Amino acid sequence: MKAVFLDRDGVINVDKGYVHRVEDFEFYPNVFEALKKLQDAGFKLFIVTNQSGIAVGYYTEEDFIKLTEYMLKEFEKEGINIEKVYYCPHHENGIVPKYSFKCDCRKPESGMIRQAIEDFGVDPKRSFLIGDKENDILAAHKENVKAILVKTGQGVKYIDNTTADYIAEDILDAVENFILMF
């Protein structure tokens, strides 16, 4: 199975800092078109997102789940299927004891990607990650997944020093000019 792993904030939606309410969630232009093209090309879609706002007490896990349900329903309306959303609520400097520790899922660690590979039989060599931070890129490379840095979100801060395989303007550029070439 080939797959695309998607970071959320900065790739799918505008990163407004700890986005956790439906009214603050704003899809980037071209997201639906890009994901539809990936799906039509046979890629399974996964979201892998750090959500340290849970550990640091900015919002609850329930807030995150509610927003995720909204996002998935919007994708469903467009005929897009997200296989699974993997998220890391942890941060070693958090204030919520349940989530305050160093883990192996918080990017740049690759636990979320590795879990998806194991859970769904994903072939890393036929898969990609799209992210807007170097931590996304590092996590992908730990699992031998090609990584694309997009300039949306925080991506422009990393373009001069990234280890990404490709750099794209946004998610649609990543899909049309890099992923669909393979």
Active site amino acids: 7, 9
Three-state secondary-structure class, residue 171: helix
How many other CB atoms are there within 10 angstroms of residue 38's CB atom?
Answer: 24
Return phi, psi of residue 178, to 5°. Answer: -130, -60
Ramachandran sector of residue 140 (left: φ over 0; alpha: ψ -120 to 50; beta: rest): alpha
